[in-house]
């Protein structure tokens, strides 16, 4: 497995593994034993970057990852997140965000226990808390780093000025946000800012929540608990309109002897050496398919063709429900 370096010298595998879908969001949780086996196989395949959060479950995903990675703890980078108003004992969800310094400390201690580790390698603020100055958040994480409980600091779905202000207090290793051929807004201002500040970028949903794999169409029925049922761009009408985007990656894949998912990931990797996507899966053959993107070469002509074709397509539907969008870019 090739590696990439995020900010502050944090080295990770070129592709990471997003673990959220193993416990939440895409329907019922997958079998624990199977997911432990999948995570350990990912390590054997060379993946060193694993992404989770206290909110996934809540708590269940961190516990799963902690058990799966315990035998190889020193070989991997574990990233997790704090920032929602979640009772650390009961898991009960409050109304929104909570990044009060005292709450951060309690959340981190609980995450350390679930992850079966003495150190969180990369700790993100999951969503910006408008009630707490980002400088106070960054200073709290700075103290946790000094105590050895955290190694690196990151932000998820944060706005440009928030990133600058946090970085001035405690240098950021990474910013995590959505980015793919399905959602290219980060190119406008976020990616240039991260390049300027030397911060790595960790795109989640690099396959557009599965859409760019070519396995979803307007007739696809999602489980009743799948979050995509509430996402505007996954309405049947939007999926019908957005199939034009899938056709672009399918056409390139046909000429490369690759799959649409591999083309979509290879395109993303070509956007910068400081980018480490975290596609998620619960299936071994999908894991192997995704890893095939690391060695798929898209030359300048290929990238230009993709960009030209995609530029003619207007993606239909918002990427998140309205309430969730209000919590991003702050």
Residue 117 CA to residue 149 CA, distance in Å, equals: 9
Query: pLDDT in tens for each of the 330 residues of the chain?
Result: 999 999 999 999 999 999 999 999 999 999 999 999 999 999 999 999 999 999 999 999 999 999 999 999 999 999 999 999 999 888 998 889 999 999 999 999 999 999 999 999 999 999 999 999 999 999 999 999 999 999 999 999 999 999 999 999 999 999 999 999 999 999 999 999 999 999 999 999 999 999 999 999 999 999 999 999 999 999 999 999 999 999 999 999 999 999 999 999 999 999 999 999 999 999 999 999 999 999 999 999 999 999 999 999 999 999 999 999 999 999
DSSP 207: T
Query: How is residue 94 written in tokens?
Result: 């409050």
- Per DSSP, the residues of 41-75 read HHHHTT--EEE--TTTTTTHHHHHHHHHHGGGGGG
For residue 156, the model assigns a pLDDT of 98
State in Å, rounded, how far the first CA of the chain is from the last one: 35
For residue 89, the model assigns a pLDDT of 83
Helix (H) or strand (E) holding 108: helix 101-115
For residue 320, the model assigns a pLDDT of 96
For residue 94, the model assigns a pLDDT of 86
Residues designated as active site? 56
Percent of the chain that is helix, strand, coil (3-state, to 5): 45, 15, 35
For residue 95, the model assigns a pLDDT of 81
Which sequence spans correspond to the domains of the chain? 3-325
- Burial class of 272 by CB neighbour count within 10 A (0 to 12, 13 to 18, 19+): middle
Residue 46 CA to residue 1 CA, distance in Å, equals: 5
For 3-325, give the CATH class. Answer: alpha beta
DSSP 31: P
For residue 88, the model assigns a pLDDT of 82
For residue 246, the model assigns a pLDDT of 97
In Å, what is the CA distance from 162 to each residue of 140, 151, 155, 328, 330?
15, 21, 9, 11, 7
């Amino acid at each position: 497995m090739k590696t990439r370096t995020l900010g502050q010298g944090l080295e990770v595998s070129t592709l990471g593994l997003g673990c959220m879908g193993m416990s939440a969001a895409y329907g019922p949780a997958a079998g624990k034993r199977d997911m432990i086996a999948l995570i350990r196989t990912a390590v054997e395949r060379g993946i060193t970057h694993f992404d989770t959060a206290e909110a996934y479950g809540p708590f269940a995903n961190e516990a799963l990852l902690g058990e799966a990675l315990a035998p190889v703890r020193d070989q991997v980078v574990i990233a997790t997140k704090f920032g929602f108003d979640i009772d650390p004992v009961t898991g009960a969800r409050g109304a929104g965000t909570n990044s009060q310094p005292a709450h951060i400390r309690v959340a981190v201690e609980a995450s350390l226990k679930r992850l079966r580790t003495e150190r969180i390698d990369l700790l993100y603020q999951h969503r910006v808390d408008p009630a707490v100055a980002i400088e106070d958040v960054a200073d709290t994480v700075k103290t946790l780093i000094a105590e050895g409980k955290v190694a690196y600091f990151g932000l998820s779905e944060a706005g440009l000025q928030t990133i600058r202000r946090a970085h001035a207090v405690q240098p950021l290793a990474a910013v995590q946000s959505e980015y793919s051929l399905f959602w290219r807004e980060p190119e406008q201002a976020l990616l240039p800012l991260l390049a300027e500040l030397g911060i790595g970028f960790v795109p989640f949903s690099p396959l557009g929540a599965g859409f760019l794999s070519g396995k979803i169409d307007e007739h696809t029925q999602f489980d009743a608990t799948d979050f995509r049922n509430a996402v505007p761009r996954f309405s049947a009408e939007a999926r019908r309109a957005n199939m034009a985007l899938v056709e672009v990656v399918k056409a390139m894949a046909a000429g490369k002897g690759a799959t649409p998912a591999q083309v979509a990931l290879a395109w993303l990797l070509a956007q910068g050496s400081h980018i480490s996507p975290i596609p998620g899966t619960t299936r071994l053959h999908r894991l192997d398919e995704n890893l095939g993107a690391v060695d798929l070469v898209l030359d300048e002509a290929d990238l230009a063709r993709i960009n030209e074709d995609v530029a003619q397509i207007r993606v239909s539907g918002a990427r998140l429900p309205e309430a969730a969008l209000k919590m991003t870019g702050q």
